[in-house]
Amino acid sequence: MEPFYVIERILRNRSGFFDEIREGDDLGRKTRNMLIGAVLFLAIYGAVLGISNSLLQALSSAIKLPILYLITLAICLPTLYFFNLLFGSRLTLAQTFALIMTAIAVIAVLTLSFTPIALFFWLTAPNYQFYKLLNVGILTITGVAGLSFLWQGMRHVQKGEGMGIRNLILWLWIFVYGFVGTQMAWTLRPFFGSPGLPFEILRDLGGNFYVNVLQSIFNLLISIVD
């Protein structure tokens, strides 16, 4: 229950939580609990993504969705830390990691809250293209909400001169994080698994995430017209 309590506390009292990160108050335990909670919640939602294909796909997606967020974090963390350091930030690597984990924890719990909605639409309107676009929309909304917590946290924790350039760095980093995340999602696909196709852990590289989303929108519109 402690991981859930920590994430709930972020949502209820973000200013107090960010103050504790700034002071370095028990960062290890906080980060560990956020990590456990995020992995658990994302795994549950990952299973919901894969259930459109099979139980094997649900299990695979439950493992891959947390991995997607953590690998993206590992790739992008050094850039944010060292560029902030270059322009006068006093944040330690542990504090930077904790702030990004705050965003991922918020994303995870918000994503979990959408689970009943996603399941409802799959059970009542099991259209694969619609289901895929619905979940892409959910992950986009929760991602934006989580990254807004990172923005607030960075501004709250960092004060003093040089905030203008560090704000710009953060905006650029958020853009890069989103781009890396979508590319990583494409690399780790399938998460849904097309109905009728055999189970696959990974698919060959090729194509593009954004083109695939546009193709899904086109296919959905065609199915509605027909």
List pLDDT tens digits, range 61-106: 999 999 999 999 999 999 999 988 888 788 899 999 999 999 999 9
Query: How many H helices and E strands in the chain?
Result: 9, 0
Structure tokens at 218: 């086109």
Are 193 and 53 contacting, i.e. CB atoms less than 8 angstroms apart?
yes
Name the one residue in this structure whose structure tokens are 């929760």: 142
Residue 117's domain spans which residues?
A: 2-225
What pLDDT is recorded for position 163? 66
Higher-confidence residue of 31 and 208: namely 31
Using the predicted structure, report yes or no on whether residue 161 has a pLDDT greater than 80: no
Q: d(Cα 207, Cα 29) in Å, to the nearest integer? A: 41
Confidence of residue 128 (pLDDT cuts 50, 70, 90): confident
pLDDT at 109: 95
Mean pLDDT, residues 116-123 taken together = 92
pLDDT at 196: 73
* Tens digits of residue pLDDT in 168-226: 888 999 999 999 999 899 889 888 877 777 888 887 776 667 677 777 777 777 777 66
Model confidence band, residue 160 (pLDDT cutoffs 50, 70, 90): low
Alpha-carbon distance of 153 to 68, in angstroms, equals 23
- Gap between the Cα atoms of 83 and 89, Å rounded: 9
107 falls in which pLDDT band (50, 70, 90)? Answer: very high
Over range 151-160, report the average pLDDT: 84
The total number of structural domains in the chain stands at 1
Q: For the segment 50-61, what is each residue's pLDDT rounded down to a tens digit?
A: 887 888 999 999
Whether residue 1 is predicted with pLDDT greater than 70 in this model: the reply is no
